[in-house]
């Protein structure tokens, strides 16, 4: 902190020109800016104007170190699969200080993880593809301006032994450090180490415009204390698995006696089979879902109708007639006495969705 006091004169008017352009940052006035108590007095004696009198007193704005680290992107744990490599979680580091600063980054597995994360990498996604690429890794954020926000991504490998529902978290900590030199990681600002800040002073009384003290004003994050120049937040991974269930229903479409009016399961009747495959809520994408069904021996596949896939179900779970006649689906129309067989591969099944496979057969 500098504190000067002088009568307004030629020198101080130069200072006014130099310093009176401070923009107001949301993080506050830039450290090092002067605050001047400047006063002018006009008065009269005996009815005559007298020379204006003035006085100034100047103090300097100090450096307030404040920052946050926050999980962004997918809020909550990110779904991963066992053996997935470089699974990415996303954070944001915000410089709330009134000065440029470096931020030293560390990513640490949280206590109590269900499995061990390996190959943890902190990176800044230079090409914005959401994935780690060689050369994107960082150990600190260089020269983040006051009010600056920087996205920081963390990638980690999931062990093949991880099982559905298991979780593992990572704590990302950003520690503020001295800025001012591009490409150089500055000395960290912490409670015991502000003397390491070469610009800090102990109110030495020198008239030096660069006399700026450092005050730590940050809050406590997930794994750091208040006013320690650091902030941290937690994000993590949860191992998801597909949760596929199948139901099968049949509907009699027609019989030779009643037609389609209240048909009965008598020889010659046509039966539609509906196989619905559902992936549960929150489950991983189910891929390569293959449905295979062997018909009762006394049913004969309706090979004119064909086999439909990827249809939907109505409110009661019955198949809607909106499937695709799938040329890739197979049915094997065996000789009498040998069961016919149906199979088909459904499209990939996201969580909370149902796809169907349906076909028709005749009762012998």
Partner 1 sequence: MKKGRIFGIFAALAALVSAPAMAQNGQSVALNGDVMVVKTINEDGAEPRTELVEPDLVVPGDRLLFRTNYENTSAELVENFVVTNPLSSAVQLAPDTSGDQVVSVDGGKNFGALSALTVTEESGTVRSALASDVTHLRWTLASLEPGESGQITFYAIVR
Q: Which is nearer to partner 1, 22 or 220 (CB)?
A: 22
Smallest distance, partner 1 to C-beta of residue 58, A: 8
Q: Which is nearer to partner 1, 36 or 353 (CB)?
A: 36
Asked if 144 contacts 93 with a C-beta cutoff of 8 angstroms, the reply is yes
Smallest distance, partner 1 to C-beta of residue 180, A: 18
Q: Is 13 in the site for partner 1 (CB under 8 A)?
A: yes
Closest CA to 199 of 36, 96, 18, 63: 63
Q: Which is nearer to partner 1, 19 or 305 (CB)?
A: 19
Restricting to residues 70-89, which ones interact with partner 1 according to CB under 8 A? none
Q: Is 44 in the site for partner 1 (CB under 8 A)?
A: yes
Considering only 28, 263, 323, 344, the residue that binds partner 1 (CB under 8 A) is 28
Rounded alpha-carbon distances, angstroms, from residue 225 to 31, 66, 228: 24, 12, 6
Q: Where are the alpha helices (DSSP H) in 208-341?
A: none
Closest CA to 188 of 289, 283, 102: 102
Smallest distance, partner 1 to C-beta of residue 47, A: 7
Window of 49-57, 237-245, 262-270, 289-297 that interacts with partner 1 by CB under 8 A: 49-57
Rounded alpha-carbon distances, angstroms, from residue 206 to 13, 59, 180, 211, 346: 20, 13, 22, 8, 79
Q: Which residues contact 10 (CB under 8 A, 6 or more apart)?
A: none
Asked if 291 contacts 355 with a C-beta cutoff of 8 angstroms, the reply is no
Q: Is 24 in the site for partner 1 (CB under 8 A)?
A: yes
Restricting to residues 193-222, which ones interact with partner 1 according to CB under 8 A? 203, 213, 215, 217
Window of 55-63, 227-235, 287-295, 313-321 that interacts with partner 1 by CB under 8 A: 55-63
Window of 57-65, 112-120, 183-191, 327-335 that interacts with partner 1 by CB under 8 A: 57-65
Q: Which residues contact 362 (CB under 8 A, 6 or more apart)?
A: 268, 269, 270, 271, 299, 300, 302
Q: Is 364 in the site for partner 1 (CB under 8 A)?
A: no
Asked if 67 contacts 149 with a C-beta cutoff of 8 angstroms, the reply is no
Q: How far apart are CA 198 and CA 194, in angstroms?
A: 8
Q: Is 262 in the site for partner 1 (CB under 8 A)?
A: no
Smallest distance, partner 1 to C-beta of residue 59, A: 4
- The binding site for partner 1 (CB under 8 A) comprises 1, 3, 5, 7-10, 12-13, 16-17, 20-22, 24, 27-29, 33-47, 50-57, 59-64, 98, 203, 213, 215, 217
């Amino acid at each position: 902190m500098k504190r000067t006091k002088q009568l307004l004169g030629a020198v101080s008017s130069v200072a006014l020109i130099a310093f009176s352009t401070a923009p107001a940052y949301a993080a506050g006035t830039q450290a090092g800016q002067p605050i001047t108590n400047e006063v002018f007095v006009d008065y009269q004696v005996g009815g005559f104007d007298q020379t204006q009198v003035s006085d100034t007193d100047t103090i300097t704005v100090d450096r307030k170190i404040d920052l946050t680290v926050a999980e962004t992107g997918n809020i909550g744990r990110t779904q991963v699969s066992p053996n997935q490599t470089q699974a990415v979680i996303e954070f944001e580091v915000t410089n709330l200080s009134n000065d440029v600063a470096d931020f030293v980054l560390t990513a640490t597995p949280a206590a109590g993880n269900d499995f061990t994360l390996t190959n943890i990498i902190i990176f800044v996604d230079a090409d914005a593809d959401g994935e780690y690429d060689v050369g994107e890794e960082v150990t600190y954020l260089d020269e983040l301006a006051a009010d600056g926000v920087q996205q920081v991504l963390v990638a980690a490998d999931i062990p093949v032994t991880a099982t559905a529902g298991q979780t593992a978290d990572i704590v990302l900590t950003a520690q503020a450090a001295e800025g001012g030199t591009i490409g150089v990681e500055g000395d960290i600002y912490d409670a015991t180490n502000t003397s390491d800040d070469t610009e800090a002073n102990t109110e030495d009384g020198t008239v030096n415009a660069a006399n700026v003290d450092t005050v730590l004003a940050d809050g406590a994050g997930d794994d750091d204390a208040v006013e320690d120049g650091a902030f941290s937040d937690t994000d993590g991974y949860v191992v998801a698995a597909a949760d596929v269930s199948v139901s099968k229903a049949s509907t009699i479409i027609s019989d030779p006696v009643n037609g389609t009016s209240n048909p009965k399961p008598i020889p010659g009747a046509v039966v539609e089979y509906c196989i619905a495959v559902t992936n549960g809520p929150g489950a991983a994408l189910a891929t390569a879902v293959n449905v295979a069904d062997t018909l009762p021996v006394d049913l004969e596949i309706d090979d004119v109708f064909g086999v439909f896939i990827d249809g939907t179900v109505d409110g009661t779970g019955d198949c809607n007639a909106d499937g695709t006649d799938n040329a890739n689906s197979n049915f094997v129309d065996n000789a009498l006495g040998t069961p016919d067989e149906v199979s088909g591969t459904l499209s990939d099944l996201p969580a909370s969705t149902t796809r169907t496979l349906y076909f028709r057969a005749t009762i012998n």
